[in-house]
Structure 1
Amino acid sequence: MGDDGFPILPDHAEMDSDIRKAVVQAFLNWHYQDCSGKPKDPVPWKEVIPRHDQLIPPVYLPDGKKIREPSRMNRHEATELLDFWYNSQKNCRDAVFEFYGW
């Protein structure tokens, strides 16, 4: 966690696919729990997928990309998200990811 209370993404260059997907899952779960006020609940993917555009601002995803349940991502998809968020974090963007609201 950073000084601002938000999670800090680690460098993922040496992570295998399963670890990358787990990092994406943990990162999104933290943001969902923060947004929803439900500190133990995982992201409800069955609700998120059909309402993607209503729940996730496009500025927090690579251009034209939609998110899907991390365990179903391939290595490229997980890497693309981690690269995008990690670079945003390195470039001091205020928020690396947020849901619109719940």
Structure 2
Amino acid sequence: VLMVSHIGKAWIGDIKDASLDVMKHMVRGFITFHYRRASSMKDWLVPWMQISPQTSDNISGKYLPQGAKLWEPSKLQKKEVISLLEFWRDRQKSDPADVFTFRKWRDATGTL
């Protein structure tokens, strides 16, 4: 994520001139930040293979563009990456206290 705000939240910066690789890195950083925050595990990696097929089980639909699935960022197409980042930027403006959160996550034993 390009910037973390002063209130300890992941904040998506301007993507206007960002390359696709940079934007994918932003998606990865944003999701990783929120996954670690939800799980209270500061060094955990996002288990993309477990959460991607069941996106709606792990993430409320209000945190993703309609019909979006959250796949490992390297697998996303440019339009999907832009859609996610623009959606989260809009949420930052409309509801900065509730931009994104996980509904479920894996604990230290691997249990949801």
Task: Tell me whether the two structures share a fold, i.e. TM-score over 0.5.
Answer: yes
Aligned residue identity for 2:5:
G
**Superposition deviation, residue 51 in structure 1:** 2.5
Give CA-to-partner distance per residue, 1:36-61, whole Å, 9 cap, x none.
11111121011102332110100000
Task: Give the ranges of 4+ consecutive aligned residues of structure 1 lying more than 6 Å apart after TM superposition.
Answer: none
Q: 2:52 aligns with which of 44, 49, 62?
A: 49
Equivalences for residues 18-97 of structure 1 within 5 A: 18-97=21-100
The one-letter code of the counterpart of 1:62 is P
The CA deviation string for residues 64-95 of structure 1, in whole angstroms up to 9 with x for no partner, is 21111111111111000000001111224421
More RCO (CA 8 Å, sep 6+): 1
Q: Which amino acid in the other structure matches residue 72 of structure 1? A: K
Q: Using the alignment, how far apart are the partners of 1:100 and 1:4 within structure 2?
A: 22
Out of 24-33 and 65-74, give the one that drifted further: 65-74
More helix by share: 1
Which whole-Å deviations, capped at 9, do the CAs of 1:9-29 have from their partners, x for residues lacking one? 111111010000000000000
Which runs of 5 or more structure 1 residues have no equivalent in the other structure?
none
Aligned to 2:103: 100
Number of residues paired by the alignment? 102
